Amino acid sequence: MRLLPKASAELARAAPVALAARVLAALAVGAAPVAVAWLTRQAIDRLTEHQVSAAEVPLIALCLFGAAAATAQYLGVYADRELGRRTAQHALGRLFGAVVAPVGVAELEDPGFQDRLRLAQQAATGGNALLAQQFIGGAQSAVTFVGFLVALLPVSPLSAALVLASAVPAVVAQARLSERRVQVQSQVSPQLRRQVFYSSLMLDPRAAAEIRLFGLGPLFRGRMVSELTRSQQQERTVDRATLRVDSLLALLTGAVSAAALLVTAARVGQGREPVGDLVLLMAALAGVQGALAGLVSQIGGVGPALALYGHYDAVVGARPVPGPAPEPSTAGGMPGPLHTGIQLRDVWFRYHSDQEWVLRGVTLSLPAEGSVALVGLNGAGKSTLVKLLCRLYDPQLGSITWDGVDLRELDPAALRRRIGVLFQDYTTYALTVAENIAVGEVSTLPGAERPDTDGGARVRAAAAAAGVDTLVAGLPDGYGTMLSRTFAATSTAARRQERRGGQPVAHPGAGPDVGRTGVALSGGQWQRIALARALLRRDADLLILDEPSSGLDAEAEQQVHARLVELRARRTSLLISHRLSSVRQADRIVVLRGGRIIEQGDHDSLMRSGGAYAELFRTQAAGYQLAAAEPSGGAGR
């Protein structure tokens, strides 16, 4: 409940007018049944006393009230929807602002944070509006409840007291159930996350081939349903308890109402009370019961809705998650162009405090304008080292310096602008070719805040440097080709509409899903697009390429490497590759094993020393020689 003022302030900021309209409508709708019952009683009393003309005023007022209440009801529905739209817009904007704000990525990899994020998203998309609905709905029911209690008092003080007394245990029981609901909500979160994982996997076109080939469909479907069943079992337990409490409440208030009605009917029969009292009592008892049922169910709903808001508040409040690697700091100066180089000194790093060290005392220098290649077996820590250089994580021990200044003292965004990087697990965006390359330097994107007038030319130059220009020339819309079949359906529909004489839909620089044919690229083609993205920062001081040619055919690999040797000649570079033939030209080759540097030097000196690198190189070379020496099969068989 301590979050209630904060949540209310957030709702008031997001949709002040809709919130005010919703509150006013709720108060009017809440008071209307009481006013209607009171006016009905007035009219009936006048009529039974044969004062027909005196009954006209309450009768007309009754009609006006009915119309006003109905209007207020419609206004409430509209205000509710508007509140939902505006709070979702406001909350999703804030939430995703907070999600992309951290400098590092450790928080996003934390399963606890993922659970919290899922709940926070639920709050942002509907939960916050639901909280308002529950709370305002509760206020509306409270107005009706109190109004009828006040109206009941003069007619039947005993039944008013009994109704009030029966409300207390109901409210207490609902408050307890609400707490259980909140507990269940966070208990089932991991199960729901897994359920979402299995369902998205089955919907993912990239996973479709393996799922079909290995016959994984029934397995994943079964697991999805079983996760859902387990989470539903827990929810069902609370729902059953709620049903028991609500039924008891209904029985209790039913018994109170029956007793009060029988007593009052007898008094009216004896002429000791006017008929209008019986009418008011009947309306009041029905109204009180309905309002009480609404009130307790809304009290039951406020708890879970507030708990959801709590998760949202924790994410937008950017409270760090304990456990994972620490979040890189944001403060710092601007790094200048690299003059002397980058130095790693006794760097120790692990992803989580309960995991093994991945880097164990790495000391390494990347001299300005020098080329360093990093090699080693799977899991040696090569990509991790790249992530530390980009400050996606900070080392727990040791330091990394840029011209002698610790990276932690530099502004991360400014540092990253000085780095061009191709990650091993690069991203494939469902955007056009041009946009897929231009995301490497936001200013080259059409519609950027501060656009680079030379953006298009830079994108084409990067594509040429990555050897992807010929491929792009052959695509249906060249650089405007959408690299996704998923969005192509929209495009096809849009084209059809255009052909039928509708509004033209294809514009250069328009949204990616408009009027364009989508194509699916091969793995190697995607890799070259991602390489072009990395090369877009032509002035980057540091170029990092993590397995830039792992998916390329032999010819493309040779072309790309020839270009990369040229490009790397004028800047500081770090190349990671399992293909040792592509690293031999590097000024220095560093061999990493188990998070430690075990040897370094140029190709010739490492070959002469006959260590791990020489062994790896000879093994690869022997593989090629063996393949070349094998007699070709086929014709003779």
Q: Which is nearer to ligand ATP, 484 or 577 (CB)?
A: 577
3-state secondary structure of 46: helix
The Cα–Cα gap between 227 and 194 comes to 7
Segment 556-562 long-range contacts (CB within 8 Å, at least 24 positions apart): 556/467, 556/524, 556/528, 557/582, 559/467, 560/466, 560/467, 560/528, 560/531
The Cα–Cα gap between 590 and 603 comes to 10
Q: Which is nearer to ligand ATP, 44 or 586 (CB)?
A: 586
CB burial class (10 A; 0-12, 13-18, 19+) of residue 632? exposed
Contact range with ligand ATP by CB under 6 A, out of 46-54, 377-385, 457-465, 535-543: 377-385
Among 351, 357, 423, 429, binds ligand ATP (CB under 6 A): 351
- The single residue listed with the structure tokens 């079964």 is 222
Contact range with ligand ATP by CB under 6 A, out of 193-201, 285-293, 375-383, 531-539: 375-383
Range 91-150, binding ligand ATP (CB under 6 A)? 109
Among 2, 100, 354, 378, binds ligand ATP (CB under 6 A): 378
Contact range with ligand ATP by CB under 6 A, out of 86-94, 314-322, 382-390, 414-422: 382-390
> For the chain, first and last CA: distance in Å?
81
Contact range with ligand ATP by CB under 6 A, out of 77-85, 381-389, 397-405, 428-436: 381-389
Contact range with ligand ATP by CB under 6 A, out of 8-16, 378-386, 469-477, 611-619: 378-386
Q: Which is nearer to ligand ATP, 306 or 542 (CB)?
A: 542
The Cα–Cα gap between 607 and 612 comes to 9
Q: Is 383 in the site for ligand ATP (CB under 6 A)?
A: yes
Range 396-425, binding ligand ATP (CB under 6 A)? 424
Q: Which is nearer to ligand ATP, 283 or 590 (CB)?
A: 590
Other beta carbons within 10 angstroms of residue 629's beta carbon come to 7
Q: Is 379 in the site for ligand ATP (CB under 6 A)?
A: yes
Q: How far is the CB of 352 from ligand ATP (least distance, A)?
A: 7
Binding pattern for the stretch 422-451 against ligand ATP, x by CB under 6 A and - elsewhere: --x---------------------------
The Cα–Cα gap between 102 and 108 comes to 9
Q: Is 382 in the site for ligand ATP (CB under 6 A)?
A: yes
Q: Which is nearer to ligand ATP, 425 or 449 (CB)?
A: 425
Q: Which is nearer to ligand ATP, 378 or 453 (CB)?
A: 378
Q: Which is nearer to ligand ATP, 365 or 383 (CB)?
A: 383
The type of residue at 508 is P
Range 169-198, binding ligand ATP (CB under 6 A)? none
Residue 83: both structure tokens together: 């509140």
Among 25, 55, 358, 521, binds ligand ATP (CB under 6 A): 358
Given a contact cutoff of 8 angstroms between Cβ atoms, the answer to whether 148 and 295 are in contact is: no
Q: What are phi and psi of 509, to 5 degrees?
A: 80, 5
- Residue among 596, 616, 606, 613 at smallest CA distance from 385: 596
Residue ranges of the alpha helices (H) in 500-602? 523-535, 554-569
Q: Is 156 in the site for ligand ATP (CB under 6 A)?
A: no
Q: How far is the CB of 381 from ligand ATP (least distance, A)?
A: 5
Beta bridge partners of 421: 544
Q: Is 376 in the site for ligand ATP (CB under 6 A)?
A: yes
- The single residue listed with the structure tokens 């021990």 is 397
Q: Which residues bind ligand ATP (CB under 6 A)?
A: 109, 351, 358, 376, 378-384, 424
